[in-house]
Amino acid sequence: MIVEMRPSATKEEIEDVVRKATSLGFSSHLNMGSNKVVIAILGEITEQVPEESFTHLPGVITVAQICTPYKLSSREFKSEDSLVSVDGIEIGGKRVVVMAGPCAVENEEQIMAAAKAVKQAGACILRGGAFKTRTSPFSFSGLGEAGLRLLAEARERFGIPVITEVTDPRDVDLVLRYADILQVGARNMQNFALLTEIGRSKHPVLLKRNFASTVTEWLLAADYLMKGGNNRVILCERGVRNFEDHSRFSLDICSIPVIKRFSHLPIIVDPSHAAGHYLLVPAVAKAAVAAGADGLLIEVHPNPCKALVDGPQSLTPSMLTLLMEDLKSVAEAVGRYI
Ligand code: PEP
Ligand code: MN
């Protein structure tokens, strides 16, 4: 349920509503928008929050149910777009934010070459996995903390923030020490213990869509993060699974305008895992920006033929440079910039 307060509601009036919610056994989440103040009052799905307990409290304008199953990530709770700021880079505003780098951090030479290339091409965030969720238990699964240290070194050397995946709730504190953005991979979208742990931090988090999940399930996963008080959530569409086998996954391009309509959270697109082949990546990346994505997550490797993970879908540094030029025109055509 949401309680909308008068824009001029006093701190005491807001606190009264929160206190009332607490006394009835519900949690409350405050959104101080620029022109309205909204409090979401949430309980278990079986418990209906009694509207009449709030309608007559001072400062309250309206009390209404949130119609969608997801609550905190919904536009009904927050009508304005959310901006997630990472080291001064705003995700969700006019700028299309390009994050790029190798699938996995492999060694110092590789990640430094990748960081240099990413920076030179004009991308502004470096990606690289230190903990990899691999389908086969026999595949390279990342360097762990040594990989995180290399990423942090690359950040210092090239002045570029880093995004890296965390796969286990027990590693959240460790990854937090090194990463500017925590990535939750597609396979962990519904790892609720992991989401709850990350929700406790106030760190920016990129939540990838699982390839077999609906938008509703994806936004409910975002609610897990937000319920703990972490509002710095960025969504990432990376393709879903269907009958098609000419690309690795099928990018759900509709999810971009769908998210924009039903959620206030920024959404970026990973064209690399959707396409699965480097030749397809530029077209998919441009389509995503044209459709309104707030950014891209692109795999780039200094030598894709030697990559330990996802070489076939990785761009070379020169391909990234060319793509960035094209992306600038697409972004401009839809009123954005890179
Ligand atoms: C990745 O970004 O490296 C990755 C493993 O992607 P996904 O979780 O989307 O499969
Ligand atoms: Mn990958």
**Residue 290 reports pLDDT greater than 80:** yes
Q: What is the CA radius of gyration of the chain?
A: 21
Q: Tell me which amino acid residue 128 is.
A: G
Tell me the backbone φ, ψ of residue 183, rounded to 5 degrees.
-105, 130
Cα–Cα distance measured from residue 291 to residue 333, given in angstroms and rounded to the nearest whole number: 11
Cα–Cα distance measured from residue 298 to residue 60, given in angstroms and rounded to the nearest whole number: 46
Looking at the chain, how many residues does it have? 338
Work out the number of other CB atoms within 10 angstroms of the CB of residue 241: 12
Spatial contact of 172 and 202, defined as CB atoms under 8 Å apart: no
Query: Which H or E element spans position 2?
Result: strand 2-5
Cα–Cα distance measured from residue 178 to residue 189, given in angstroms and rounded to the nearest whole number: 21
84-333: CATH superfamily? Aldolase class I (3.20.20.70)
**Residue 125 reports pLDDT greater than 70:** yes
Task: Quick: pLDDT tens for 307-330.
Answer: 999 999 999 999 999 999 999 999
The CA 257 to ligand 1 mean position distance, Å, reads: 22
**Residue 135 reports pLDDT greater than 60:** yes
CA 217 to each of CA 70, 207, 238, 333: distance values in angstroms, whole numbers, following the listed order: 8, 12, 15, 32
**Residue 90 reports pLDDT greater than 90:** yes
Overall average pLDDT of the 72-85 stretch: 97
State both tokens at 167.
């796969």
Helical H runs in 38-107? 52-55
Overall average pLDDT of the 118-132 stretch: 98
Task: Quick: pLDDT tens for 32-65.
Answer: 988 889 999 998 655 667 888 899 999 999 999 9
User: Apex CA 99: angle with CA 254 and CA 209, to 5°?
Assistant: 40
For ligand 1, what atom is nearest to the CA of residue 209?
Answer: 9
State both tokens at 232.
């710095």
Spatial contact of 310 and 114, defined as CB atoms under 8 Å apart: no
Helix (H/G/I), strand (E/B), else coil: 22:
helix
**Residue 132 reports pLDDT greater than 90:** yes
Write down the pLDDT at residue 46.
55
The CA 157 to ligand 2 mean position distance, Å, reads: 24
Cα–Cα distance measured from residue 303 to residue 113, given in angstroms and rounded to the nearest whole number: 10
Write down the pLDDT at residue 47.
62
Per-domain residue ranges for the chain?
Answer: 2-64, 84-333
CA 245 to each of CA 161, 249, 324, 337: distance values in angstroms, whole numbers, following the listed order: 35, 8, 28, 33
Write down the pLDDT at residue 44.
66
Spatial contact of 79 and 232, defined as CB atoms under 8 Å apart: no
Q: What is the residue with the minimal CA distance to atom 10 of ligand 1?
A: 186
Write down the pLDDT at residue 35.
81
Mutate to test the pocket of ligand 1, among 151, 191, 273 (most ligand atoms within 8 A of CB): 273
Region of poorest pLDDT, from 40-44, 164-168, 272-276: 40-44
- Residue appearing with tokens 């101080």: 32
The arrangement of secondary structure in 2-64, i.e. its CATH architecture, is 2-Layer Sandwich (3.30)
Name all residues whose Cβ lies below 6 A of ligand 1.
103, 129, 185-187, 208, 238, 270, 273
Write down the pLDDT at residue 182.
98
Mean pLDDT of the chain: 96
State both tokens at 290.
């044209």
The CA 70 to ligand 2 mean position distance, Å, reads: 29
